[in-house]
Structure 1
Amino acid sequence: MSTSSLTQRVGGWLVTLLSLGAAGCASDKSLVSHTINNVAARDNGYFLAREKLQATEVLLYKGRVNDYNRRLPLFPTLDSTTVRATRADLNDIIKKASLPIQHRPGSDWTDDAYLLVGWSRFYKMEFDDAVLTFKYVNSTSKDPFAKQEALIGLMRSFLVLKQPDNAKAVSDLLDREIGLRKDARELFLTRTEYFLQTDEPKRAIEQLERAIPLIPAKNERSRTRFILAQLYQEQGQDKEATVQLNEILKRNPPYELDFFAKLMLGQVTDLSDKNKARLDKYYAGLLKDLKNKEYRDKVYYEMARLAYRQQRYSDALTLLRTSAKATTTNRSQKGYTYLLAGRIYYENLQKYRLAAAYYDSTTQALPKDNPTYAAIQERADILKEFAKQYTIIETQDSLQALVKLPAAELDQRLNQYALAEIEAKRKAAAAALAAQKAQQQRQQAQAQGAPGVPSALSGNQRDISNPNTFDPTNAVASGALWYFDNPTALGTARTDFIRKWGDRGLRDNWRIVN
């Protein structure tokens, strides 16, 4: 081999080695640069935004309104109040999450940052923007877990927008995903909400049963079990509901959940003599416990429901009266109390005027976002008109019956009415005097700094346990021929009204105005 040839070959090797070395350095530089981008994106923007979003979600979930007379919500209820309370934090989350998107676009955290933006827009009720963001992540991300979370966010958005067909399309798309779902819990909960919206409770139960074992937080898991028990009860599956409630009670839940789970057991427990005695003892213990002072109206209401299950309608109405008079901070409970009284008068006792009165009160007290509110309002309107026509017919029938009486019997009947009117005035005057004395005693007690605490059974309240209360046909027999011609009765009623409601002006919805 010549010297020149050897030199050429060595030179070639050196060029090759240098080229490989340069390429290796470039690759190392690219790898190092990508790693730096990832760390900077994660630590500078994404991490801070994620922590704040998690804290915001904790507040939103804690803020769920727990009305135990209806099915508890799975997810936070979003409205103008929640948006006002969280807008500043959500805007800050979007700002922080936008940093890696704008300044580190090639990092592995870009799609995760977009997810934070999407959820922030969702909680701000900017659902159209949230939909666009989740769609973008699903179409551009290479991370299967990010795509799954984006699809779940998309499904949640469609459910809030009341677009069940779109929500189902997303759910079907998730079914085609291969591999273990990182967000299986959220998927099952979201599908539960979908099936509840589409009125498929049995399928909702299936999804909720799959979700519960995946919920890590003990108290949230117990709360979700309570929702499952409610669904079972709605389907008439009392044994399955009982199993879920007992599971809750075994795990030492928060006091409120423990309290209402035990109350609900009274509605799903088999009514054997042994269980009846146990429930009666349990309710008595609840009423004696001072910790339950704010729940007394609910306890009496549940006792009324138990009596209603046993077809003891008079007892149920007595307990409902006591529930309505119990003073608590739960204003909506009176709506459910009036509703059950109205149902008893309408469906079981056929006292339509009384039913009309209680359904009217129900529409004033029941939250208007209740799913059954529209149906209740419709029945209230129908009963009001029916009671009006029924009274006209009944009055005409009574007058025609009087006209047909012989003169002597007619005189005798009129004398009975006159005597009854005199007796009614005497009783009204006595009641007015008693009310005046009671008012004076209360004023004296307050002046001495010892205000009385009224019992749930005290007060000059009308007894709704008597099916004839407020019945105009019986008012004639008792002498109250025309209520507004009786100044004593009017005076008594005004005194009772002021004592209970205060000196209010005449206005719409006066019963629910502070």
Structure 2
Amino acid sequence: MIDIFLSVSRKTLPILLVICISTGCSQFSTKPAAIGFHNFSARYNAYFMGDQDLAEAEFAIKKAYKEDYNQLLPILIPLDSVLALPAKPQLESAIKKASIVAEKHQNSRWLDNSYIILGKSRLYLGQWADGLEALRYVYANGRDENDKNAALVVLMKAYVSRKDYSNALGVAEYLSQQPLPKASLKDFYLTKAYLHQQNSEYLTSVAILEETFPLLKKSTETARIHFAAAQMYDRLGQYALANKHYKGVTKNRPDYDLGFYSSMNSLQNRVILEPNSDLSSVGFDKMLKDRKNDDLRDRIYFTMGLLAEHQKKLPEAVDYLKKSAASSGKNQSQKAYTYLQLARINYESLEKFELAKMYYDSALTILPKDAPEYRLVSDRKRALDSFVTEFSIVSREDSLQKLAQMNPVALNNKIDAIIEAKEKARLEEEKRTQEALAAKAAIQNNVAALPGSPIQDAGQRRWELYDPALVSQGKIEFRRAWGNRVLEDDWRRSGKQNRSVAANNLAAQDSASTQAQPETGMQKGSASWVAEHEQLKKNVPLSDEMFAASQKAKEESLYKLGKIYRFDLREDERAVFTFNRVLTDYPKTIYKDEIYYLMYLTLSEEDKGKLIWKDKLLSEFPNSTYARLISKTSDKNGIAGSGNQVKEYENIFQMYSDGNYTKALDEIEANLPSYKGGAMEDKFALLRVFLIGKVRGKEAYTQAITEFVRLYPTSTYLPRIKEMQDLSSLSLGKR
């Protein structure tokens, strides 16, 4: 095609040039001959070549873009200067060609099109000011309405890429009033859907896409857009509609990975839609053996783990997820989400809190910082750090106090049983390690015996920290010399607040039953056995002073656990249970007034016990700070402090505007009781709804909207909140 155009140009241009010279073809002339000459020259030389350069650059950018199917696929490939680096020569060439039209063919009808090429190319290169300037020029000075609208579509995408959603929405509202041809209408719909998707308005985005699909031709790009629509339906909890679009992926010539992930996601939705469905025909074993899936084995195991969890087969689910993590290889993104799934199962279902914390920690080290889940995972990880510390103290002191209440003979027998259990576990671990080392040595010997096989000498030996078997052996040797030590700084220092490591061992093994005497290892009655026995017994609080210290440590940790449940983990039921335990076990606790107040805050308005805690606080601690806070909530006038509340609202709203959602939510919830009865109470409550939607996800957001409607039936913001309620009617998405 290019050769044809050049041939036509070579034959026709001399003729036009003669006519142009004889008639005075200035680029500012309005004569038909002059315009015809510049139209021809601009189109078949500068504009055409510039358009080809831009098309090649966009193809290279799409090829360089790496999809992350665990994340929400963007409907459009973002304008990213890093992605555009491989296409920089083509983009610079496109700018050069498009500039020729602007410099030498001002009266050409291709001037607007060339400015659009100029603007897009500069945006791809990260030259935002110049790119936006070129597009705005077309809108302000363009001669063709279709070209002006095409420039605005590109401008809207540029605003979305810069997260300037307000300006993007303004452009979208203008374009929605314009009569657009079919091609421009398709681009406008896709860009507007992209705007709402990036602004987390998934319901609006999929509604626009449903109108767009009839305008799209069958292609890999259409398959990709179907996948993005399905993902948004997943987040909205509309799994049947999601599966409809996952099927749409397979009908539009997807590449292998896109088709694979579409099938896996559709399968997960099928289990939700049909809990009793038979999955024996899925053929996971065949998938795992298929060489095309070697790089996707982690995702296959991950899906198998999710399906097993849905079927309440938790041990199988955990096993599959561990296999997924082990198979991840270079796919660190999938490994991060596998760790998150393992963390959630261990925390919510298995209540193995220490293990959950470790998985959250591992996920956080490899999860991209720009991932939507990063902030939530970071907050959960910090909360679990504190939670595990306090939970371990409570569990340890519980166990030690139970041991202290035994008679001397039973206590000695219990300690001996714990030592026996520890020795048996140690010997079994050593046996497994030795077997693994022997198996590895046998494999290495067999490989070394093969013809042409290089024999590794000491200088070529693999570094020990890369070898799991050697690492495990090293751990055994360390424990044999130093015992089970907590990973912490300054562990040699004496006089620390926490008990010795031996106390942790004792508490962890409290429920262990008496084991048969191991055939090898430390023998009962030996000097080392007696020393271990005495060390463990030393930490049992047998004296009054030790028992009182144990009680104090347990009381403080229980109180802290209740607050962690209430403020960090947002688990109100467990918070109430823990606060009640503090009051039951320690009726004279120094935290009683604060616990009364926290119980009042935590219980729902429908709970009859809520007012009981308020009355107890006002009667037992009438002069406390917490009593004054509750009194403020009971003051129905609330006008006196309205000036301060205005300033507080402005400060919190500024945090919201700056994206500090977690801090703003903590601030508003900490002071919410003081706003009760005031003129701005419902305004603070409405801002809280927005913040919950940003921080805690769709289920909490829906619940917060429902609570607002119930608590503020006469609020002036009720029409707005009801509109939000209608939009969130589909928002019970899967986690």
Q: Tell me which of 275, 279, 285 is aligned to 1:276.
A: 279
Moved more, 159-168 or 191-200: 191-200
Instruction: Give runs of aligned pairs for residues 48-447 of structure 1, distance below 5 A.
Output: 48-79=49-80, 81-180=82-181, 182-216=183-217, 218-269=219-270, 270-271=273-274, 273-279=276-282, 282-447=283-448
Counterpart code for 2:41: A
Cα offset, 1:179, TM superposition:
4.7
Query: Equivalents in 2 of 1:216, 1:252: separation in Å?
Result: 11
- Given that residues 148 and 181 in structure 1 are in contact (C-alpha distance below 8 angstroms), is that contact kept between their aligned partners in structure 2? no
Counterparts in 2 of 1:273 and 1:68: CA distance versus 1, 3 Å: same
Alpha-carbon shift at residue 432 of structure 1 (Å): 2.9
Given the alignment of the two structures, is residue 34 of structure 1 paired with residue 35 of structure 2, yes or no?
A: yes
> Could you tell me how far 1:365 is from its partner in structure 2?
2.3
Q: Distance in 2 between matches of 1:231 and 1:360?
A: 28
* Counterpart residue identity of residue 249, structure 2: I
Cα shift readout 1:385-429 (whole Å, capped 9, x = no counterpart):
211221122222222222222111111111112222322332233
Structure 1 counterpart SS, 2:90:
helix
- What is the SS of the residue equivalent to 1:81? coil
Q: Is the 8 A contact 2:61 2:84 kept in 1?
A: no
Please state whether the residue corresponding to 1:82 is helix, strand or coil. Answer: coil
* Change over 3 Å in CA distance of 1:302–1:414 after alignment to 2: same
Distance 1:136 1:181, change over 3 A: farther
**Separation in 2, partners of 1:118, 1:26:** 31
Aligned-partner Cα distance in 2 for 1:325–1:26: 75
Alignment-mate amino acid for residue 276 of structure 1? L
Residue 273 of structure 1, CA deviation:
4.3
The structure-2 alpha-carbon separation of the partners of 1:342 and 1:199, relative to structure 1 and needing over 3 Å to count, comes to: same
Residue 59 of structure 1: how far off its partner (Å): 1.8
Say which SS state the counterpart of residue 371 (structure 2) adopts: coil
Structure 1 distance, partners of 2:85, 2:245, is: 37
Q: Deviations over 1:442-469 (max 9, x none)?
A: 3224424599xxxxxxx9899xxxxxxx
Q: 2 CA distance for matches of 1:77 and 1:26?
A: 46
Aligned equivalents of 1:347, 1:255: Cα separation in 2: 35
TM superposition shift of 1:296: 0.7
Residue type matched to 1:396 in 2? Answer: E
| Greater Cα shift, 347-356 or 48-57 | 347-356
2:562 corresponds in structure 1 to none
1:252: Cα distance to partner? 4.7
Give the Cα separation in 1 of the matches to 2:155 and 2:352.
Answer: 50
Cα deviation code 1:155-199 (max 9, x no counterpart) = 111112211111111011101213535411221111112112322
**How far 1:308 moved relative to its partner?**
1.9
Amino acid at match of 1:186: D
Distance change >3 Å, CA 100–CA 222, structure 1 → 2 = same
C-alpha displacement of 1:223: 1.5
1:444-459 superposed matches below 5 A: 444-448=445-449
1:224-281 CA-partner distances (Å, limit 9, x unpaired): 11111111222121211222222332455332222222212211213354543333xx
Q: Deviations over 1:120-165 (max 9, x none)?
A: 1111122232222111110100211111111111111111221111
Give the aligned partner of residue 496 of structure 1. Answer: none
**Whole-angstrom distance in 1 between the partners of 2:297 and 2:414:** 47
- Following superposition, the deviation at residue 50 of structure 1 comes to 0.4
The 1-side partners of 2:230 and 2:325 are apart by 27
How many corresponding residue pairs?
Answer: 441
* 1:277 match: secondary structure: coil
Q: Are residues 165 and 420 of structure 1, via their aligned partners in 2, closer, same or farther at CA, if it must alter by over 3 Å?
A: same
> What letter corresponds to residue 155 of structure 1 in structure 2?
M
Task: In structure 2, list runs of 5 or more residues that go unmatched.
Answer: 1-22, 455-467, 473-485, 487-503, 516-530, 533-735
Give the C-alpha shift of residue 303 in structure 1: 0.8
**Counterpart of 1:184 in structure 2: which amino acid?**
L
Q: Determine the C-alpha separation between the residues in 2 that align with 1:362 and 1:420.
A: 33
SS in 2 for 1:308: helix
Q: Within 2, Cα distance between the matches of 1:61 and 1:210?
A: 25
Higher mean C-alpha deviation, range 413-422 or range 174-183? 174-183
Q: Mean alpha-carbon deviation: is it higher for 286-295 or for 320-329?
A: 320-329
**Cα offset for 1:221?**
1.1
In the alignment, is the contact (CA less than 8 A) between 1:301 and 1:319 conserved in 2?
yes
Counterparts of 1:338 and 1:29, CA distance in 2: 69
1:296–1:326 CA contact under 8 A, matched in 2: yes
CA contact (8 A) 2:98 2:117 kept: yes
Conservation of the 8 A alpha-carbon contact between 2:301 and 2:324: yes
Aligned partner of 2:410: which letter? E
* Contact kept? 1:63, 1:76, Cα under 8 Å: no
For residue 346 of structure 2, what is the amino acid of its counterpart? Answer: Y
Q: Percent identity?
A: 29
Q: Which runs of 5+ in 1 are unaligned?
A: 1-24, 452-458, 463-469, 480-484, 487-514
Q: Distance in 2 between matches of 1:251 and 1:316?
A: 33
The answer to which of 248-257 and 96-105 deviates more is: 248-257
Q: 1:75 to 1:26 in 2, by over 3 A?
A: closer
Mean Cα deviation higher: 332-341 or 282-291: 282-291
* CA contact 2:219–2:253 (8 Å) conserved in 1: no
Q: Take 2:92 and 2:337, find their aligned partners in 1: how far apart are those partners?
A: 40
For 1:32 and 1:97, how far apart are their aligned partners in 2? Answer: 22
Deviation of residue 349 (structure 1)?
A: 2.3
CA–CA distance in structure 1, aligned partners of residues 449 and 210 of structure 2: 59
Q: Distance in 1 between matches of 2:398 and 2:140?
A: 75
Is the CA contact 2:325–2:335 (under 8 Å) kept in the aligned structure 1? yes
Change (3 A) 1:85 1:347: same
In structure 2, C-alpha distance between the alignment counterparts of 1:212 and 1:445, rounded to whole Å: 59
- Cα distance change on mapping 1:415 and 1:29 into 2, 3 Å: closer
Kept in 2, the 8 Å contact 1:297–1:322? The answer is: yes
Amino acid at match of 2:142: S
| Letter aligned with residue 107 of structure 1 | S
TM-score (norm 2): 0.56
C-alpha separation between the residues in 2 aligned to 1:201 and 1:80?
27
1:36-65 deviation digits (Å, cap 9, x = unpaired): 111111122111110010111112223332
- CA pair 80-54 structure 1, distance change in 2 beyond 3 A: closer
Q: Alignment partner of 1:53: what SS?
A: helix
**How many angstroms apart in 1 are the aligned matches of 2:236 and 2:378?**
25
Give the TM-score normalised by the residue count of structure 1: 0.79
Where 1:278 maps in the other structure, the secondary structure is: coil
